[in-house]
Amino acid sequence: MSTSAAWFQEWQEVLPGAPLRQGDLLESTSDAANPWDRHLVVITADCDLANSKHQGRVTCVPLLSVDEYLLRFTIPRLLEKVREKHLTQLEAICARSGTHPSRERLRAWPSEATDDEIVAATGVGASDAVVLKACTRGIRTLAGPWDTVSLAVKALTESEQLSPQPQGADKYRNSLSSALRSPFTNPPGDALFISAFAPGQDEGYFAYLRHIEHIHESDIATQPTRSEAKFRRLARFTDRFTYAIVQRFASVFATIGLPSDYEEMRNFYSDQLWERTK
C-alpha cells in the first residue's frame, strides 16, 4: 500500500450533537442486529432533514462486510456454475442406464441418500457408478452454508476437482480470485466498495443500494446519552463518497424496464423500415 493510500479514508469525524445529515454512518445498538441493519448509511437529503420533510423517517442503505456481500451476491453464481457441471454429467449417466430423474430431483438427491443408494436406484454400470459418486459428492460439497469466503472457496475448489474435466486446482483458484476481485474493481451498479467507515470499522465493506431501511430519527443518538437509542452515529462519509452513493442509489431505481411486448413491437417497426429500403 502506498503512503498516500495508507492515509486515505472515506469518512470524517462528526462533532457530538451535530445535526443528522446525508452520509451519516449509523450502528445498531442491538446485539441481535442482522447484516441488513447493523451498519447503515443515511441517504435522506439534507434539505429534507433540515426542513422536516421526511416526517421523521430516515432512509438508509446497509453496509455489508466483504464476506457478507460476496457470500450473498458473488459466491452463489460460482456455486451454480460448478453444480451445473455435476448435474449435466448425472443426467447423461442416468440416461445411459434408462432412468430420467428430473433436474430438481438430481439437485436434491445427494442430500437425501448415500452414493450407494443412488447407484442402486439408477442401476448404472460399474464405470458410470464411479463418476456418479464423484458428482454426488461434488454436489454435497457445495451444500454450505459458510461463514467466510475462504470456506466457500475451499468447497468450490474441492467440488470442481470432482467434476468432469476439472480445471487444475491452481488454475481454478486463479479464476475464483478473478471472479471475487471483480466486485471491487468493477462493481455492479447497485453496490460500492468502502474500505472503512468509522474508527475500528476498517475491514472492507460494500454499500448495498437495493436494500432500503427506514428508521425513526428519534431512534438515532447523535451524541452520548443516557436514554436508550436503537442506533448511534459513528461518523460521516466525506462529501465525495456521500454523493457517489446517493448518485448510484438514484440510478438503481431510475432505470425503468419496458415489457417484452413493447420490444417486439419496436423490432417490428425497425424491420418494416428495413423492408421499405429494399
Q: How many CB atoms lie within 10 A of CB 245?
A: 23
Ramachandran angles phi, psi of 39, nearest 5°: -130, 130
**Predicted pLDDT at 63:** 98
**Predicted pLDDT at 256:** 73
Radius of gyration for the alpha carbons in the chain, expressed in angstroms and rounded: 26
Using an 8 Å Cβ cutoff, are 157 and 176 in contact?
yes
Q: Which domain holds residue 270?
A: 1-278
Residue length of the chain: 278
**Predicted pLDDT at 1:** 45
All 3 cell numbers of residue 150?
Answer: 475462504
**Predicted pLDDT at 254:** 84
pTM of the model as a whole: 0.88
Measure the N-to-C terminal CA separation of the chain; round to a whole number of Å. Answer: 62
**Predicted pLDDT at 155:** 97
All 3 cell numbers of residue 103?
Answer: 433436474
Domain count, the chain: 1
- Predicted confidence (pLDDT) per residue in 142-181, tens digit: 998 999 999 999 999 999 999 989 999 999 999 999 999 9
Q: Nearest 5°: CA angle at 244, between 55 and 60?
A: 30
**Predicted pLDDT at 2:** 41
Measured distance CA(123)–CA(64) in Å, rounded: 47
Q: Which residues of the chain have pLDDT under 50?
A: 1-4
